[in-house]
Amino acid sequence: MGENILVLDAGTTSTRAILFAADGALIRVAQRDLTQHYPRPGWVEHDAAEIWDRTLACAREAIGDDADSIAAIGITNQRETVVAWDKKSGKPLARAIVWQDRRTAEFCADLKNQGHEAEVQARTGLLLDPYFSATKMRWLLDHDEAVRGAGERGDLAFGTVESWLVFNLAGRAHVSDASNASRTLLLPLDEEQFDAGLCDLFGVPQESLPRVVDTHGALAECSEEWFGRAIPICGLVGDQQSATIGQACLEFGQTKGTYGTGAFVLTNNGKTIPRSTHRLLGTVLSQRDGGRVYAIEGAAFVAGSLIQWLRDGLDLIESAAETEDLARSIPDSGEVVIVPALAGLGAPHWLPQARGVIAGLSFASGRAQLARAALESMAHQTHDLATAFAADGAPWSMLRIDGGMAANDWMAQDLADMLGIDVERPDFVETTALGAAFCAAVGAGLYPSLEDAAQAMRGKTRCFRPRIDEDARAERLARWRKALAAA
């Protein structure tokens, strides 16, 4: 057996395969974009067959002739996205409903009005929001004839993206790891498997759901047909939990923020189940031999996707990297504030009906002011999260950042300035993939623990320290709060 780790990173806008050495060195990367389908305002869909086909193509490209060098496969994925397929044929029954999709907002509101949210939050750590998986499953059952028919025949399989990939890779094994399962609204944080009562509440047949397994261990085995030899699958973990692990936030209180399509902050809560009173989320961070480590989470739905919208929707910039030069070209945003609620507002507001706002425009406003305001909105949203975490008794002493946007030095410094704490960024910012590599390496027995894997595989970091004064910080936050009220 070799010592390399193959990570399949099935994200929202693309899918990748990354081959890591046992010391964390990057050997090879292959990537394919995923088609984004927007059939109606607020609806976001993927083609599940495309996810599988392009992930397989990436894996084969990354492996090359090195299949014998691979000790294990780790998979990390966009969470909450729901795939429905036929257990017998293995074919998708409908387009996957993506985590950003808001079509179930009315159903969530009805459940809230019936008084279910407090119990659901107490049991699952989650709120009644279209973000999570269960209401997407119910929508498919109610509105898609093929899904409903498969359910009536007993042939329906529901799963998040890692479950879909394992089903295809491993001879139709139907499993989901605890970190992804904890994002469905169907898994109590203190129970091993999906709960019958919660399934009844949301109208999801329990028999259509996968078996919940650990995030690292001997989880499944990839069939020989795909890569020329059977390879154990030893790591399964949702992308934000994976980034937390990849940032070595393995002790109580350590915090990371990932700035990709959305922005997601997680604080390690140890073995204590989180109980938020400020509309943050409790989630499973990792699980081994049935023992769980938990995290407190806050999510902003729009981060890098705002920059993508400036590029593709408004033709304001030619590339994301251009925003840093534009932000540096002016002393401030000229009082322009962007509230990026293009997919509603996430934590701690949880307003799916909110819409984006650009405030403070004048004849002096131009490309630079809009680009800078877009970057500033990352710090503003993160500050709202920091306030809620502190109110829940989990203040941040440092924030470790990663994701594609974290490569922007101006934004990293702005985060430090607005939060008033040190912000640390690893040289290798793709820590989502690295966390899955840690899990797979431990699951395969290359390292005894995640802490040992992190010590061996995590690279160097850079620290950004606060530089602005309290008055400047307060002035910006006041403008943000005024614009936020308009959203």
Percentage above 90 pLDDT, the chain: 82
Mean pLDDT of the 209-222 span:
97
- Residues 433-487 have pLDDT tens digits of 999 999 999 999 999 999 999 999 988 899 999 999 899 999 999 999 999 988 7
Please tell me which residue, 301 or 136, carries the higher pLDDT value: 136
Of the pLDDT bands very low, low, confident and very high (cuts 50, 70, 90), residue 428 is confident
pLDDT (0 to 100) of residue 349: 87
Contacts 24+ apart (CB under 8 A), 268-274: 268/244, 268/293, 268/295, 269/293, 269/294, 269/295, 269/296, 269/394, 270/294, 273/125, 273/189, 273/190, 274/125, 274/189
Residues in the chain: 487
Mean pLDDT of the 262-270 span:
92
pLDDT (0 to 100) of residue 279: 86
Percentage above 70 pLDDT, the chain: 100
Mean pLDDT of the 16-32 span:
94
Of the pLDDT bands very low, low, confident and very high (cuts 50, 70, 90), residue 403 is confident
Of the pLDDT bands very low, low, confident and very high (cuts 50, 70, 90), residue 66 is confident
pLDDT (0 to 100) of residue 46: 96
| pLDDT for 43 beyond 90 | yes
Mean pLDDT of the 311-336 span:
92
Residue 87 dihedral angles phi and psi, to the nearest 5°: -60, -35
pLDDT (0 to 100) of residue 343: 81
> If you average pLDDT over every residue of the chain, what do you get?
94
| pLDDT for 150 beyond 70 | yes
Domains and CATH numbers, the chain: 4-239 (3.30.420.40)
Per the CB < 8 A criterion, the answer to whether 425 and 400 are in contact is yes
| pLDDT for 163 beyond 80 | yes
Residue closest to 258 by CA, chosen among 293, 310, 205, 300: 300
Specify the pTM: 0.88
| pLDDT for 353 beyond 90 | no
| pLDDT for 1 beyond 70 | no
| pLDDT for 192 beyond 90 | yes
Give me 423's structure tokens.
């912000």
| pLDDT for 180 beyond 70 | yes
At 437, is the secondary structure helix, strand, or coil?
A: helix
